[in-house]
Amino acid sequence: MSITTDPSRDLLADNDDLASQTSTHVNMLSHTQSPNPHHHHKRTRDAASLSTSSTSDNPAHSYIQFNTPLQSTKISIFSTLASALANASIPPDSISNTIHFCAFPSTRIIDEKLAFITILDPTLTPTIVSIIRSTFDLSLPTPIDSLPTPPSHSDVDTTNDPDPNSQFPRNCRIISCPFYNGGTNIFSHDPTGMAMAQTHGHHLHLELLTSLPPTTLNAIGWTCCCSTCPHIFLSPTDLRAHQSNCTLRISTNTPTLDPTTLPHWTPLFSICPDSRKTELTTIIRTSPESTPTSLFPLISQWFMESKPDHQPATPFDHHEL
């Protein structure tokens, strides 16, 4: 299913597979060596050189890429994978608690995304690939050489939409994202297109978008609920619906509000060990700048520390992440 109403602009869905082209191009670059004008000069390699070579042949970390539903979260992936590792007698801290997401370079794959994790013990990579394959249905895990560079504030295109009639940005405004599409519109100019653009931003770029200054965020069509609520929206209808029930917006002047009752903190509390939930509550109350994303590394570390060596397998449906 294509998400553009103009086939001539579906630049990412041509017969040529962009992902394959990119992979081939990278491989060509990595195997192409510059001529060495001094190739005839040979010298004995000393111990330091040999040591450096040995280190490069045995990297400290390795990486795995796999498919996951577009709406899956870092917290749900991490907690499910950590449980599966523990069930296989592999320490949960064998993986980093940092997870990266990236869009598929195709407008025909709109309900999934790529997830990237770091393996802290490369010798476990084949085993963890197998665990991911059996834990997440149709995830197609693959070892890769490096992680994609995460987008930064400098990747945000704040130029005006070339179509003056557009009510929302009809392509992703993150230049490094495939859905930026060279600044060319992708999403249809209707409520369906707006919903797709909003879902794309929520589930692929939320961390970056919520870190932008309000003026930059507004310049690319997004609006924040209020100064105390991190939720952002492209759709004015969705924004108003959220604001009418937003506990943070309604209770802005209630500093003693229990954060465990706020829906955006629920996923973090779900993986926080019971023995540390009071501590998490204190952190949230005393650090109003905190967000679920900023506290995720800390809480995931608590989660790993609380895991026993063996844990019963947890039933898991790939499409309920």
pLDDT of 226: 86
Looking at residue 101, its amino acid is: F
Residue 229 resides in a domain = no
- Rounded CA gap, 180 and 18, in Å? 14
pLDDT of 41: 44
pLDDT digits (tens, 9 = 90+) for 8-32: 334 333 434 444 444 443 344 344 4
pLDDT of 222: 95
Residue 99 resides in a domain = yes
Measured on CA atoms in the order 105, 111, 117, 123, is the torsion positive or negative?
negative
Q: CA nearest 116: which of 133, 130, 96, 135?
A: 96
Low-confidence ranges of the chain (pLDDT < 70): 1-59, 162, 250-261, 288-289, 308-321
> Which pair of structure tokens corresponds to residue 271?
């993986």
Residue 136 resides in a domain = yes
Q: CA nearest 186: which of 1, 35, 12?
A: 12
Residue 101, domain CATH: 3.30.70.260
pLDDT of 102: 94
Q: CA nearest 213: which of 204, 224, 200?
A: 224
Name the residue range of residue 83's domain. Answer: 58-148
pLDDT of 250: 67
Residue 228 resides in a domain = no
- Rounded CA gap, 9 and 93, in Å? 45
pLDDT of 27: 42
For residue 40, what is the enclosing H or E element? Answer: none
Q: Count how many domains the chain has.
A: 1
Q: CA nearest 284: which of 271, 299, 302, 273?
A: 299
> Which pair of structure tokens corresponds to residue 299?
């809480």
pLDDT of 14: 40
> Which pair of structure tokens corresponds to residue 268?
């973090």
